[in-house]
Homo-oligomer: A and B are copies of this chain.
């Protein structure tokens, strides 16, 4: 089978790999759709991020869906031909964190396509993936595998919403309208946010934010005063979903957040200088959110029932052999939201 393998920055290859055997409790899936994520782009463009570096060839990818083609012994919840989204999160459910229900912090996590441990955890951009039955979530009739492959980034934002606490009556600011920011808008609206204001530096992404349900979109490159106006009376927003990783977005958010509000940090971005006195004086709660656990099943469920429509995010599908072109397109925010590969 073919797989999409990163060797070093800008060295992405389509290679042949052996298919893995299907063990008990496992299913073999013919992958059909695979979304390119920010971390895939980091490996492709920079060979890694922070201290995490590609040190051996690694199959990329963790946003995938496909069709079941073989069943291991004892598998009862799937039949051949079922379509499924596959969670890339594989905790071992035995460490102290797993036994507290915090599986996303598993000490032995094997998340697809991660160069953090050595040997690296191989990813899911391959024609056939063998996965545990419990990683797989059936896709409903009428839902495409392209939509289903977006369950993974959507789960990230559902986890962010879960971290934020109840959104009933809350006014929400979303900073950064890449795929994660736009999915956060959908996730927040689906869970009852009273009002959503989105910011970004480009009008293309802001248009998408409005399309999926933001009440207002502000280009803070051209109109920073529109956001700043919310600072009156100590602030306006109850919750900020920070999806840009930019220091400026954090700092301007702190100005317009009310006392005792919550800033949920989704975006990654190295060191940021924050005004500690604002955190103190407004009693801001800044909390990180990392991947997801039970939210993957919830994401598939909401997609299956058409409670959410993620199709507006899909900006292009490239064939496997055009993977390099796909990665280049995915990295261009002016024209791409979510780019997927077809296998």
Contacts and interface: CB of A to CB of B under 8 A. Distances in A.
Interface of A: 50, 93-94, 96-105, 107, 158, 161-163, 165-169, 190-192, 194, 233-234, 245, 250, 259-260, 265-290, 294-295, 298, 301-302
B298 A288 contact: no
B162 A158 contact: no
23 contacts: A93-B94, A99-B99, A105-B260, A158-B168, A162-B166, A162-B169, A163-B283, A165-B166, A166-B166, A167-B191, A169-B298, A190-B192, A191-B192, A266-B280, A267-B280, A268-B280, A269-B277, A273-B273, A279-B286, A279-B288, A280-B288, A283-B288, A284-B288
Q: Which 6 A-B pairs have the closest CB atoms?
A: A191-B192, A101-B101, A280-B288, A105-B259, A166-B166, A279-B288
Tell me the number of copies of this protein.
Answer: 4
Contacts of A281: 288, 290
Nearest to A269: B276
A283 B290 contact: yes
Contact of A99 (B101, B167, B271, B295): B101
A161 to B, nearest CB: 6
